[in-house]
Structure 1
Amino acid sequence: MNQGWPAADSTELDGWLVRRNAGVTLRANSVLPANAPFDLGKALDYVENLYQAHGITPSFQISSAAQPADLDAHLEARGYEIRTPTLVQCAEVADILAKLAEPTVEVNISSAPDDSWTDFWWRVDGHGSPDEQATARQILHRGRALYATVWSGDHITAIGRLALVDDWSGLYCLAVDDHLRRQGLAQAVIHGLLQAATAQGIGRIWLAVVEANAPARALYDRLGFQTVASYHYRVKA
């Protein structure tokens, strides 16, 4: 997942990966604590000073694999708050395709997002200013991915991104026009992306869905995705 949404800069810190991307998304601006540092207190001080020097709020991505195992408790004691509890779900691409009907709309697939794709994404699902949109666009271009677009005349109605990492794929940026939801457009986008991924030998897919997003979870449940892990962020108050 780290490769599917790559930060501009990452610093190795005694087992931690300190990711920085001028803000915009927590994924690219949080610590991935893969291994326990020798001196936890010094490591936490270093992270806080580094992030603050770059104008980024100190944040950690916490899962059951976070090290040390009691890191979450240490962060809570230092005033870090929980943000965005998220589920990680996985499936076999063939199994998802078998449950998806053939789209009734044309799904255009490309290897890079154009301005219209990124503008639609930011309008429907983005958070921030035009400068932050430019920063987010840089994230999209750093990793190998497929991009889906559904048009109605000269207007985009739905988009999606499928990151490609080895024989895995990761679903990101699934967005549908607010006025056209519950019409099967999200499923059409997923079908188009997975069909294109199959042609490239991709056999498995992951996604991250916010725990509180009941409509998205219901869709993924119907398609057969299984929850395999969860994470949340700890963000300095």
Structure 2
Amino acid sequence: MIDLAKVRRLEAVGFRAWPAATVLYDGSWLCRLTAGHPSRRLNSVNPLDPSDYRDIPIRLEKAAKRFADYGRPLLVRQTPLTPPQLIAFMDDAGWKDMGRTIVMVADLATLPRDEGLDHLPSRDVGRFVDARLSVSGDDPALKPGLTEIINAIKPEAGLFIFEEPGFGPTAVTIAVQDNDLVGILQLGVAEERRGQGLGTAILHASLRWAKLKGARHAWVQVEADNAAALALYRRAGFQDVYQYSYREPATA
């Protein structure tokens, strides 16, 4: 049985941790749009109340027009909060499932007590974005959009960068502390340095920082087909809480 109250809280902190440029509500359907970055998390309709299922075709048509204005395809993010009637509508209309993501949580009390803060986060957003793009191999054209997103994060964010002389950035992650919760985002390890424990090291460095700041639990969102990332987080004590997927209308 999924704890919907827990899902609601994790959804809320997730939105704050990775803020969209434009946020619009249609009833309890949260429409997130971001012209500067193509991330599905930043460009999707997020229904937040299982009982809000009135006028489904009309509301989806309205949302499609909003997305078209941003040059984005209409996506609905299907979570345990999505009304069953909306899911049935999408199923009947042949909407495609764009893959699943697992939301996981860990108790920070399980972290070793004798480890201090061995890495301090950076405050230089530009340096972090350059490191993230280098590690991930993403398009450098994403730099302005990613910079805007990180600068818009309202809770305290720790930007962690591991570097190696003569090589450059080897691993990065962002820890976003929101009261007693911390979200781990954008974790990446340079392809040439994978398999050396850097992912575990930078994850634990960020978790120790958040724990010292007062966080008690950590959360992360991991694509279900990313076996390496799932193994990393499960080794660190993260456990599955719920899943979500993105749904896209069937093409004609």
Letter in 1 for 2:89: H
Shift of 1:140: 1.4
Counting only pairs closer than 5 Å after superposition, residues 57-136 of structure 1 correspond to structure 2 as: 57-66=73-82, 68-95=83-110, 97-98=111-112, 107-115=119-127, 117-125=128-136, 127-128=138-139, 130=141, 132-136=142-146
Following TM superposition, by how much is the alpha carbon of 1:161 offset from its aligned partner in structure 2, in angstroms?
A: 0.6
- Asked if the contact 2:104/2:240 (under 8 Å) is kept, the reply is yes
Please tell me the root mean square deviation across aligned C-alpha atoms, in Å. 2.1
Deviations 1:125-169 (A, max 9, x none): 364451x33112211111131111111115111111111222211
**Which of 37, 40, 45 pairs up with 1:31?**
45
Determine if the alignment matches structure 1 residue 203 to structure 2 residue 203: no
Residue 231 of structure 2 is matched in structure 1 by 218
% identical equivalent positions: 27
Q: Give 1:69's aligned amino acid.
A: P
CA contact (8 A) 1:9 1:19 kept: yes
Gapped regions of structure 2 (runs ≥ 5): 1-13
**Shift of residue 122 of structure 1?**
2.0
> Which residue number corresponds to residue 150 of structure 2?
140
> Which range moved further: 35-44 or 2-11?
35-44
C-alpha contact (below 8 Å) 1:24/1:128 kept by paired residues: no
Q: Count residues with an aligned counterpart.
A: 230
For residues 137 and 92 of structure 2, the distance between their equivalents in structure 1, rounded to whole angstroms, comes to 32
CA contact (8 A) 1:24 1:136 kept: no
The correspondence of residues 118-197 of structure 1 with structure 2, limited to 5 A, is: 118-125=129-136, 127-128=138-139, 130=141, 132-143=142-153, 144=155, 145-153=157-165, 155-197=168-210
Alignment partners' CA distance in 2, 1:152 and 1:108: 16
Shift of 1:90: 0.2
CA distance in 2, matches of 1:206, 1:112: 24
